[in-house]
Structure 1
Amino acid sequence: MATTIDTIYTIWLREIKRFLKSKSRILGTGGQPLIWLAIVGVGFGSAIGVLAGGVSYITFMAPGIIGMTILFSSIFAGINVIYDKQFGFMKEILVAPVSRVGIVLGKIAGSATVSLISAITVLVIVILVGIIPVSSLTVAGLIEAVVFMVLTAAIFVSVGLVIATSINNMEGFQVIINFFILPLFFLSGALFPLTDAPLWMKAVSAVDPLRYGVDGMRGALIGTAAASYPLALDFVIILGVAVVLIAVADFAFRRMQAK
């Protein structure tokens, strides 16, 4: 029987190869975020100007766009599960003598790696064009930002897997995802500060894990003056949510293979 590590690596490698073979996904990695930055960032930035802490709007928005990249890339990882179901691959690996935990962790690791590649690509671009000033960056801050990227990706890959385990067609998956994905994005504080938002909006955004991922990246890359919470609090919350949702994804996956 293959070890858990072997299974994780094999599934991880398969997800990476699948990504590298998709030219449209590779090209779209930096395209959509740049469109958001060019249209929303520049357009709103000219009207809003400088925010509290002396941060320009487009600089404030940049970590939010990185968060959007992770959200969109990660949560749609469930599509791969549905494809695997439809083409019989999922049935084969579920009856194979391999670690079930390894299958789940391999899929999460593979899809999270793809999301991380996308996020780092956007980060490099916004640094090169000066949206995030080099003067605000530190080695520790960059490492912290990558940690938040990984945990955020793990959360939404897990969400995508949980949804995909109970759905057998692409249309149903996309309907459910599209219903949740934009509220998650807009309520995360990715595009605007939530300090003056209505009380109900603050309450709803408080249970949005993307909020803590974006806020953590913002604090790590721009400085704590631009963040809503202490970096340690963001980290504890997003780590806890990631652990819980990975466990939920494992449970959902086990139920699926038992059917």
Structure 2
Amino acid sequence: MATMTATAPRLANTAKPGVWLPAYSLWQREIVRFYRQKARVVGVIASPLIFWLVLGSGFAHSFQSGSSSGHYLGYFFPGSVAMIVLFTAIFSMMSLIQDRNEGFLLSVLAAPVRRSAIVLGKVLGGASLAAIQGIVFLVFAPFVGVHPTFASVGVAILVIVMISFELTALGFAVAWPMDSTQAFHAIVNIILLPLWMLSGALFPASGASGWLRLCMRLNPLSYGVDALRNALFPTAATDFSLTTNLAVTLGFCLLTFAASWAIVNRRTHQPAA
């Protein structure tokens, strides 16, 4: 009996997993669940592609951009990539609400894992999906006259990964306190979609009015879209340098992940009523 009592704490300590194994399990679950839903995969790519072709073709002869492509399809291409990333991040983090309603999230919270592993696994899973979809969309770049080098492709992939991470972490912070997908959609329409619309994806900041230009300068997503334009159109006139865009995007990645981590820990450490 004494031996069993002495070894119990030791077994409890050795059985407790670290951060990376639970995070990897949650990441893998997000990937498998997404690609089992074939209609969801098609919808994420098809809707921005149709939006890019219809809107870009409609404005092709009436919009003058500074990009090397010379028409709106070229200017709108980085914004379309950001749209794919945004849509994937939104739908990925909507699964957080479904996990809560189905009881899966409660099981994860009751398990002996750190809360940082939950945030890391869910955010990395959603960010991986968003990044893959955005990178796949780069195959349409030659249709707008973009013939990037290996270095520019590498920079574009890096930017897509960073945008995916920041938007997914932001979506996690929005979805975590919510209990219904309807409330999540309402917040998305108020925050995330305007965040994309005012990122320079649809129109440049130079042609906007004063207050709108200020909003676009304060929008952290603007720097990610501008960095994509830096990579895909090296000779185009952009608002900021590539170094500035990457620095601001990286800072926003850290800020959104820290906010997600703080929200999870704040809610799980509230005293019982």
The TM-score with structure 2 as length reference comes to 0.89
Find 1:127's aligned residue among 133, 141, 145. 141
| Distance in 2 between residues matched to 1:53 and 1:123, nearest whole Å | 16
Match of 1:216 in 2: 227
TM-aligned CA deviation for residue 132 of structure 1: 4.3
Residue 99 of structure 1 aligns to which amino acid in structure 2?
Answer: R
Residue in structure 2 matched with residue 200 of structure 1 by the alignment: 211
Q: Contact 1:3 / 1:99 at 8 angstroms: preserved in 2?
A: yes
In the TM superposition, residue 186 of structure 1 has moved relative to its aligned partner by 1.5
Q: Secondary structure in 2 aligned to 1:225?
A: coil
Question: Equivalent residue for 2:159?
Answer: 148
Amino acid of the residue matched to residue 230 of structure 2?
G
Q: Please give the root-mean-square deviation of Cα atoms over the aligned residues, in Å.
A: 1.5
1:109-258 equivalences under 5 Å are: 109-124=124-139, 126-127=140-141, 130-134=143-147, 137-258=148-269
User: In structure 2, what residue type is equivalent to 1:91?
Assistant: L
**Partners of 1:72 and 1:53 in 2: how far apart?**
25
Q: 1:130-154 CA deviation, whole Å, 9 max, x = no partner?
A: 12422xx011111111111111111
- Report how far residue 247 of structure 1 moved: 0.6
Q: Is the contact made by 1:68 and 1:185 (CA closer than 8 Å) also made in structure 2?
A: yes
3-state DSSP class of the match of 2:29?
Answer: helix
Question: 1:165-218 deviations in whole A, cap 9, x for unaligned?
Answer: 211111111111112233112111101211121110111111212211111011
Of 221-230 and 188-197, the range deviating more from structure 2: 221-230
Give unpaired runs (5+ residues) of structure 2: 1-15
Q: Counterpart amino acid of 1:256?
A: R
1:41-93 per-residue CA deviation (whole Å, 9 max, x = no partner) reads: 01101222x42354322111101100111112113332111011101111111
Matches within 5 A, 1:22-41: 22-41=37-56
Q: How is 1:62-141 mapped onto 2 (pairs within 5 angstroms)?
A: 62-124=77-139, 126-127=140-141, 130-134=143-147, 137-141=148-152
Cα distance between partner residues in 1 of 2:96 and 2:45: 24
Question: CA–CA distance in 2 between the matches of 1:58 and 1:206?
Answer: 23
Deviations 1:81-115 (A, max 9, x none): 10111011111111101122111111111000000
CA contact (8 A) 2:61 2:71 kept: no
Aligned length: 254
| Structure 1: runs of 5+ lacking an equivalent | none
TM-score by length of 1: 0.93
* Bigger Rg over Cα: 2
3-state SS in 1 of match to 2:179 = coil
